[in-house]
Amino acid sequence: MKKVVFVCTGNTCRSSMAEALFRKMLHDLGKQDQIKVESYGIAAIEGQPASENARKVMEMEGIDLKGHKARQISEAVLDADLILAMTQSHKDYILNRFPKAKGKVFLLGEFAGDYGEISDPFGQGVEVYKKVADELKHKLSKVLERLEKI
């Protein structure tokens, strides 16, 4: 089983939504047993719930994020096959802190083939979260296509 990890700052918005969306995509394709999905934050407060607007937007997608608990990135991330960061600063942090992760850390956009960063919706309205969720879905579908070729 492969393991894919998503990383952002607090693990309450972007990476938690990416984890949930990717898990749903895998489930919808019947591939949930082939890829394990997790998410972490580089500055997460352990146990913090997903942000209210992240929960609302995921509800619109038929996903329940109420049980999400933020996790601080640790050496456990090194057992991942693929680590997808939301911004260049997240990628740089991971590589500086965990040099052994080199070769498996990418920006989500970079791995998806369109290189853009995923901006942080924290503290903004539902419409901004919805835009981020749509961007994540687009990039995650490309990630899934790429993983199927590997």
Could you say which of 13, 14, 23, 71 is catalytic?
14
- Name the phi and psi angles at 145, rounded to 5: -60, -45
Q: Residue 120 catalytic?
A: yes
Radius of gyration of the chain (CA): 14
Q: Which of 116, 61, 63, 58 is nearest to 86 (CA)?
A: 116
Is 8 in the active site?
yes
Q: Note whether 48 and 70 are within 8 A (CB).
A: yes
Asked about 23 being catalytic, the answer comes back as: no
Distance CA 51, CA 147 (A): 29
Kind and range of the H or E element at 3? strand 2-8
Catalytically annotated residue among 8, 13, 55, 71? 8
Show which residues are catalytic.
8, 14, 120
